[in-house]
Chain A
Amino acid sequence: AQTVTQSQPEMSVQEAETVTLSCTYDTSESNYYLFWYKQPPSRQMILVIRQEAYKQQNATENRFSVNFQKAAKSFSLKISDSQLGDTAMYFCAFMKSMDSSYKLIFGSGTRLLVRP
């Protein structure tokens, strides 16, 4: 069974600094998707960044970037120039195909606090 592990329940960073959130996953598949979702206090789930496993290049979205290490099954999120609005729960997620359908599972989340 696929699993997603986020080993950091909580993290804190000073505004304007850089923080890295960790995620590891377990799968025997070679083709899959990885995501980071943000959940602010409003509880809305918002996609931050996406990575296709067949792409070697790390995905980047403005201040957000990932370090995708396929062999190590690691998918960390780096937030540069942290802003107060980045305070939220961050979930790492894994999607793989099962036959013709896709199953999406989440890690336990990391609560990030950006301090002014």
Chain B
Amino acid sequence: DAGVIQSPRHEVTEMGQEVTLRCKPISGHNSLFWYRQTMMRGLELLIYFNNNVPIDDSGMPEDRFSAKMPNASFSTLKIQPSEPRDSAVYFCASSLTGFFSPNTEAFFGQGTRLTVV
């Protein structure tokens, strides 16, 4: 497996524009996490899915942020409209979790560096 794949690797956009970040989890994994990393706030959990269902989105900062997981192999994180303070590195991670997964761990994508100017 190629691991967790995120696209794009870098995104520069103007304030007010819509931004869509994409993630392809590892095949067979049942949990997917979206994180935002900044110097000030560290790694923040934005939302996570289990079996394609959003479980906890309490970390999503505002209504401008939304995430979807239409199937087991794809997820998106959308920001509309984007603002300069959204500039950060966004990570997607996937995991095989459950009672019968004693070796569970989260595998991370390479991240998307978003710059909003």
Contacts and interface: CB of A to CB of B under 8 A. Distances in A.
Interface string A89-116: 0010101011111111111110000000
B50 A101 contact: yes
A16 interface: no
Contacts, number: 60
What 8 pairs between A and B have smallest CB-CB spacing? A101-B50, A45-B108, A102-B97, A106-B43, A108-B42, A101-B55, A47-B105, A104-B106
Given A52-B102, A100-B98, A102-B95, 20 more contacts: A33-B104, A33-B105, A35-B105, A43-B89, A44-B110, A45-B108, A95-B97, A95-B104, A100-B50, A102-B98, A102-B104, A103-B48, A104-B45, A104-B93, A104-B95, A105-B45, A106-B43, A106-B45, A107-B42, A109-B42
